[in-house]
């Protein structure tokens, strides 16, 4: 058991932290207040090789391990949840799913440009009437010759107006319930596709989130991901990757809350001494530190399981649940430490609190993860082997693959 980061991982953290300090933190207050998603950030992330940090070099990625993705997400969320979310969706939910389930042709056509950051990927599962209850989705895909015709809509889709490629889940046979859901790669340029942003969100205001619509969208059969009826399994495996990045990001939000609170504790004085000298303030600081350290252990444990090629649904669920709860509490305590100033946008902690709520809800609510963990312990839930797994790390070198 080795808890040390490699030199490459340490350098990666320093690179992302420096990027966040220079290119996100000075501007995020304005972007957040105006609801601006700044696209230049995605371009800079691509230039740094961070859009495909854990994708094999054969597909245009940086070839680092899965915990490298956790480091990127942790440091990005220290700046703001919006840009961690962008990487979570692009890399965690979309690109890693293509790596796991895609054909060689699909990987070359879609994964490679995404790993390079030339194209942006997104994920379309949630619908107005289907969130935790995935089987309630209404989007359909009807076979028509060599194509599928998609009709329906998705909501709360991150990067809805930004992404080029979407992984979309639809019923090909509703009579089979979960077993009748299939997954498709949909391009923004396909006729009948449209998107619309959701404005005035409570948090993550600097993020692009909204709805996508399919009106007789014709998708080639070559864009079916996996087999017909495998969509539910593909979606759940994608969520394992997404939840991993969300949990890692939560560590970054705890870190940001802690840094701002420590700074304020030394600046602000009451009753003749720094507020950090007051024991109940120290209690909040201590809880933040404990939450950060425990969350990191859960997150990086999941990354190591991924590196070994071991299924990690149970461990990822626990990390996502606990880290997001710790982050929500840390942000709340950060506001409390700042007092009345914490309730305004004069300090960033108000934004931290607003942003911290969404991850407690999406990619499995805390209630869903609570039930999952209890069912694992009680023996009611067991994870069956998947027909395809993410490749273990270090990635094997295939000389037959030529990067395009």
Active site residue ranges: 363
- Residue pair 202/354 in contact (Cβ under 8 Å)? The answer is yes
Report strand pairing: 165-171 vs 181-187: antiparallel
Determine contact, residues 51/117, Cβ cutoff 8 Å.
yes
156, containing H or E segment = strand 147-158
User: 51: helix, coil or strand?
Assistant: coil
Q: Which pairs count as long-range contacts for 269-275, CB under 8 Å and 24+ apart, including other chains?
A: 275/337
Helices 279-308 and 313-338, packing angle to 10 deg: 160
Question: By three-state DSSP, how is residue 141 classified?
Answer: strand
Cα 96 from Cα 239, distance rounded (Å): 10
d(CA 177, CA 175): 6
- Structure tokens of 131? 């969130």
Reduced to 3 states (helix: H, G, I; strand: E, B; else coil), residue 124 is strand
* Of the candidates 219, 228, 225, 229, the residue with the CA atom closest to the CA atom of residue 178: 229
Cα–Cα dist 194/211, whole Å: 8
CA–CA dist 53, 33 (Å, integer): 30
What the block records as the tokens of 33 is: 């207040």
Which pair of structure tokens corresponds to residue 191? 């006729």
Give 191-234 as a DSSP string.
Answer: TTEEEEEPPS-SS-TTS-EEEEEEEEEEEEGGGEESSTT-HHHH
In the numeric block, which tokens belong to residue 54?
């854990």
């Amino acid at each position: 058991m080795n808890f040390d980061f490699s030199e490459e991982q340490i350098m990666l953290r320093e690179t992302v932290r420096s990027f966040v300090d220079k290119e996100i933190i000075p501007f995020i207050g304005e972007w957040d207040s105006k609801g601006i998603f700044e696209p230049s950030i995605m371009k800079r992330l691509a230039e740094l090789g961070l859009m495909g940090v854990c994708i094999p070099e054969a597909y245009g990625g940086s070839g680092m391990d899965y915990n490298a993705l956790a480091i990127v997400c942790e440091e990005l969320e220290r700046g703001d949840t919006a840009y961690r979310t962008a990487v979570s969706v692009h890399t965690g939910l979309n690109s890693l799913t293509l790596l796991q389930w895609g054909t060689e042709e699909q990987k070359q056509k879609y994964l490679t440009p995404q790993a390079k950051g030339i194209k942006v990927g997104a994920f379309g599962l949630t619908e107005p009437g289907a969130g935790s209850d995935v089987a309630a989705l209404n989007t359909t895909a009807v076979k028509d010759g060599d194509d599928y015709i998609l009709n329906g809509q998705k909501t709360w889709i991150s990067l809805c107006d930004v992404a080029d490629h979407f992984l979309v889940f639809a019923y090909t046979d509703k009579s089979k319930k979960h077993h009748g859901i299939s997954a498709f790669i949909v391009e923004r340029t396909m006729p009948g596709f449209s998107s619309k942003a959701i404005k005035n969100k409570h948090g993550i205001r600097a993020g692009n989130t909204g709805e996508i619509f399919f009106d007789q969208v014709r998708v080639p059969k070559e864009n079916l991901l996996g087999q017909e009826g495998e969509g539910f399994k593909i979606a759940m495996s994608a969520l394992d990757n997404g939840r991993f990045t969300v949990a890692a990001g939560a560590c970054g939000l705890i870190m940001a809350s802690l840094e701002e609170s420590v700074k304020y504790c030394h600046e602000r004085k009451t009753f003749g001494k720094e507020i950090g000298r007051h024991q109940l303030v120290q209690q909040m600081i201590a809880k933040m530190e404990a939450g950060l350290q425990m969350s990191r252990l859960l997150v990086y444990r999941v990354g190591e399981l991924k590196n070994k090629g071991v299924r990690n649904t149970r461990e990822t669920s626990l990390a996502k649940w606990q880290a997001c709860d710790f982050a929500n509490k840390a942000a709340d305590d950060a506001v409390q430490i700042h007092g009345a100033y914490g309730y305004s946008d004069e300090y960033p902690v108000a934004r931290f609190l607003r942003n911290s709520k969404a991850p407690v809800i999406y990619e499995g609510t805390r209630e869903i993860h609570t039930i999952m963990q209890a069912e694992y312990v009680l023996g009611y839930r067991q994870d069956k082997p998947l027909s395809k797994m993410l490749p273990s790390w270090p990635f094997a070198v295939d000389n037959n693959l030529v990067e395009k």
